[in-house]
Chain A
Amino acid sequence: GQNIDQPTEMTATEGAIVQINCTYQTSGFNGLFWYQQHAGEAPTFLSYNVLDGLEEKGRFSSFLSRSKGYSYLLLKELQMKDSASYLCLYNQGGKLIFGQGTELSVKP
């Protein structure tokens, strides 16, 4: 199947840390991406994981466990501008499969 699942919405406080989880069907897996999308705009690339482990890039980190079909995006030192939709998607045999997105609201 092409199932990919992430929470619909999350709320966090400015300066805090938030973890957005994503689970996916493992068949045909060829890499997992996280994108950030602000309302009315195209998605922008955040991270790419193809091997197990944690990839750190500034305030954002992404983790992958291929055997569990699980990934998370970790956002540290949250800022108001981080309020956006975060899309988990994976490459299944060359085709990108999108999750429904997690709407993150950062409160002061």
Chain B
Amino acid sequence: GAVVSQHPSWVICKSGTSVKIECRSLDFQATTMFWYRQFPKQSLMLMATSNEGSKATYEQGVEKDKFLINHASLTLSTLTVTSAHPEDSSFYICSAGSGRSTYEQYFGPGTRLTVT
């Protein structure tokens, strides 16, 4: 099956700094990638839809200036958490579709962000 990777798998940063998380589709091209956030014991919450070559579409309540998304190629999308605060500590997961059908959504392994 298709593989999606994320880097880093975990990161600890200080409050006020920025952190970049990468999402890569390893063996397929993804015109659309999705970014999710998951707090402990809660379901995934869609943050934004990342479209290759165009601006990301953010869900209501998600600050686009704080969570910068760049989808520069068909295999890479990045999420940058700017001026991170402890409340941004969460599990961030991306998913990507191969484009053949939206049924084929493959999830990355997730990135655990801890802001101290």
Q: Name A's B-contacting residues (CB within 8 A).
A: 30-31, 33, 35, 40-45, 48, 50, 87, 91, 94-96, 98-101, 103
> A44 contacts which chain B residues (CB < 8 A)?
107
Known A-B contacts A98-B46, A101-B43; the reply to A40 vs B112 at CB < 8 A is: yes
| Residue count of chain B within 8 Å CB distance of chain A | 20
Q: How many A-B residue pairs have CB under 8 A?
A: 45
Q: Chain B interface secondary structure, helix, strand, loop or mixed?
A: strand
- The 0/1 profile, CB within 8 Å of A marked 1, for residues 84-116 of chain B is 000000010101000000110111111010000
Known A-B contacts A31-B102, A96-B105; the reply to A41 vs B46 at CB < 8 A is: no
* Cα(A43)–Cα(B4), bound, Å: 12
What is the minimal beta-carbon distance from B44 to any residue of chain A, in angstroms? 5
- Closest partner residue, chain B, to A91 (CB atom): B102
Known A-B contacts A40-B112, A42-B108; the reply to A48 vs B103 at CB < 8 A is: yes
B46 pairs with A87, CB closer than 8 A = no
